[in-house]
């Protein structure tokens, strides 16, 4: 390839990609939930602002400034018995255009008895010709509680952006007491702009979920689960 603005030729290294990984374990202690293990790698960080009373809050920060094709990110959260955690992000995550491999983001969570996880990140912004594959895998005890929501925005309408083509795939699995209680696969591929008028209602099930699309806004698998009534 010819490098822009020069007469030199060269190749872009396939290894020149961002990676970020966070491993987080929270434990219930006297006075509230505390960190028992935090591991960070690459461009992904987690901070604990202690700005609110009640459950501990974790804020994810991607210092790479966004996600491009071939990037790899993963987040693993473990809540020990009775631990409570709210997870959010410092900013909306941006998924940039790529003509190469897709980006990948994996989220896993393990919730022990009476643990409570609230996952409410800011939206993910998908730009034209972006490619993202995201997996969510959650294992929770019978008495654990979970609120887990993700939102996809197709371009920034205030900036006059339109998403015409791209790829977005989601793979969700939630298990309670070892049993699969929620599973959803969602995929958009190719001409996304022609799909933005589609709507589908949430289905009644133990874990209520939806893939409702309206214009440039998509609420993906908004899950709320509480312990079964006894």
For the chain, give the mean pLDDT: 80
pLDDT 10s digits, 88-104: 999 999 999 988 899 99
How much of the chain exceeds pLDDT 90, in percent? 49
Task: Read off the pLDDT band of 230 (50, 70, 90).
Answer: very low
Cα–Cα separations (whole angstroms), residue 81 to 138, 162, 173: 16, 45, 21
The residue that leads in pLDDT, 192 or 119, is 119
Whole-number pLDDT of residue 193: 66
DSSP class of residue 97?
A: B
Whether pLDDT at 147 is above 90: no
The dihedrals phi and psi of 195, each to the nearest 5 degrees, come to: -100, -10
User: So where are the chain's domains?
Assistant: 19-225
pLDDT 10s digits, 33-78: 999 999 999 999 999 987 666 679 999 999 999 999 999 999 999 9
Whole-number pLDDT of residue 11: 46
Whole-number pLDDT of residue 64: 92
Whether pLDDT at 164 is above 90: no
Whole-number pLDDT of residue 194: 65
| Overall pTM > 0.85 | no
Contact predicate 75/89, CB 8 Å: no
């Amino acid at each position: 390839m010819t490098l822009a603005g020069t007469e030199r030729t060269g190749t872009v290294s396939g290894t020149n990609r961002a990676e970020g990984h966070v491993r987080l374990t929270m434990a219930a202690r006297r006075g509230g939930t505390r960190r028992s293990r935090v591991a960070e790698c690459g461009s992904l960080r987690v901070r604990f602002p202690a700005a609110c009373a009640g459950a501990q809050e974790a804020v994810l920060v991607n210092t790479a400034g966004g996600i491009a094709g071939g990037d790899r990110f993963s987040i693993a959260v473990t809540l020990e018995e009775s631990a409570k955690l709210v997870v959010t992000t410092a900013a909306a995550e941006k998924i940039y255009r790529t003509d190469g491999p897709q980006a990948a983001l994996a989220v896993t969570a393990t919730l022990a008895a009476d643990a409570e996880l609230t996952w409410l990140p800011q939206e993910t912004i998908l730009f034209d010709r972006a490619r993202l594959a995201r997996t969510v895998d959650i294992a929770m005890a019978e008495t654990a509680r979970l609120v887990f929501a993700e939102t996809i925005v197709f371009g920034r309408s205030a900036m006059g952006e339109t998403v015409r083509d791209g790829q977005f795939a989601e793979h969700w699995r939630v298990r309670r007491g070892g049993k699969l209680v929620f599973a959803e696969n969602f995929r958009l591929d190719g001409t996304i702009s022609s799909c933005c008028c589609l709507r589908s209602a949430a289905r009644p099930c133990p874990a209520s979920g939806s893939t409702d699309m309206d214009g440039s806004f998509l609420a993906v698998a908004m899950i709320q689960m509480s312990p079964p009534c006894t």
